[in-house]
Structures are given as C-alpha cells and as structure tokens.
Amino acid sequence: MKNMINVSKRNLIIIALLAVFAVIVLAWLAPLQRTAGAHIVSNVYISQGGAENNSGLESVKVHGTFWNEGDTIAKNLSATVIFTDIAHNKVVRKNVIMGGDLLSNKGVVMEFDSEYVRERTIPKTVVNVTIQFDWIENGQIKTTKTIISSDISDSSENGNNNTGKFFYGNATVESIEMMVLESFPVQIKVKAIGYLPDGCTKIGEITKEKKDNTFLVHIKTVRPAAAFCTEAIVPFQEVIPLDVYGLKAGNYTVDVNGVNGTFKLETDNTIKG
C-alpha cells in the first residue's frame, strides 16, 4: 500500500513537471508565429518639459524602437515623426534617418529620437505625436501610423509607474475574423486576435480610417516605462465595429495592424426612402 502511494506521488510530480514544461514551450513558441507580410512594431517614449537654458520654451522629446515582426522585408522603409501643435497652429514633420530596408522576423531592432521645441503655453497644452512608417511591399506602398498624445505621460491613472512615463506601440495581431451580422443595413465587425508581450502592456487607443475600399484599423498599446511585470505573453481579442452604412455594393479589405481580411456587400448598404 505504501509503495502504491509513493508511485502515485511520483506520477503526480511527473505530470506537474510536464505541465510546467508545456507552458514554457508554448510561451516560447507563440512569439515565433510571424505575421504574413511586413509588420512594423514600435515602442515609443514621449516626454514634455522645459527646454534647456531657456525657461520660455518647452521641448517635446520622442524616443522609440521599432522592428519588423512579419515574414517579409520592409523595403525602402522611411519613418516620419509628426508633431501636431494645436495651440500654436503648427504641424511639424521630422524625418528619421535609417538604413533603408528592415529585415523580417525581428532581424534587427532600430532606434530613433526626435524633438520639437515651442513656446511654453499657460495653461499647459499638449502636443499630439504621430509616428508614420512607409515602405514598399510586393510593389505596393504600405503605411502604418501610431498616434500619441503627450498628456498621457502626465496621468497618474495608467498603472503602476513611478516615473509617470509610458511606452507606446502597436499590438501584435496574429489573425482577424470578419463578423457579418444578419441585419439590414448590414453590420460588420472585425475580431482581432493577438497577444501582448508582457503583463504590464495594455490595449490603448483603437483608431479606424477608410481609404477607398480599405478599412485601416490600428490597435495601440501602452506600458508604464518603470513597471516591473511578468514577461509571459498575454493573449487578447478585440471586437471592433466598422462604419459600413452607406457603402456601395462591392468587395472591401480590412487591415488590422498589417493583417488583412475581406468582406463583400451584395447590395448598397443603405435604406432607400
């Protein structure tokens, strides 16, 4: 009887070890599932404060890293930092110097810095920052944007962050699913499935825009710069409604962080009076 109990305990220990090993293997393999095509991912840090040696000016500084998680080289890659200063009615574009092509499968991680100096405003106003990447893929020009507001860095409601500073990036989307609701006018939603790189990174802003017959959806992430957190990836699903009322019959493409899907409208999606 005692021997049987010892064998059972031994079996339980072996099963527990195998389970732990399986979790480790899955956590290691998941990031290796690459997105088809080029997929530019960036982490961005932004700060706004007094400019050096001049109390009448303030500086908005941007530092970021970026890489390509897709399986295709992003050719002739260019990056632009766009500062939108509503208080001074200015839009300032600054190009980022880089090597040209960005290797696939996170073959290289690149860094950039940019700065915008302006007259200080009272009360304080924010500057919106857009990081735009352009590249050529299969003979076509591709674009992705990350939009940041400098006021988020001063918020105390964005998690455990001793510095008050945050990293911003694009969520890793592995697949999307088109959801067509049986109604008229037709309602269409896109379900994005992906993962976050650690336990501190959260889904931030989700933006949508339409260019011709393509819907461009950007899922942004935010992470406290000084947070200590687990490094295990965190799966996520986001269901995002698309504004399809009034569209003409035809085929449409949906791009969510570089992952594409399509849907078709059989008839004009509008109620005729």
Q: What is the pLDDT along the chain (273 residues), one digit of tens a residue?
A: 545 445 566 666 666 566 555 544 444 444 444 567 888 887 787 887 777 666 788 888 888 888 888 888 988 888 889 888 888 888 899 888 776 788 888 888 888 889 999 988 888 788 888 888 888 888 888 887 777 765 544 433 333 333 346 677 888 899 999 998 878 888 999 999 998 888 888 888 888 888 899 999 999 888 776 666 766 888 999 999 999 999 999 999 999 988 999 999 989 988 876
* Listed residue (85, 163, 187) closest to 126, CA to CA: 85
Look-up: residue for tokens 């200063």? 85
Alpha-carbon span 148 to 165, nearest angstrom: 13
Structure token digits, residue 177: 């699913």
Taking the CA of residue 133 as centre, how many other CA atoms within 13 Å lie in the half-sphere pointing to its CB? Answer: 30
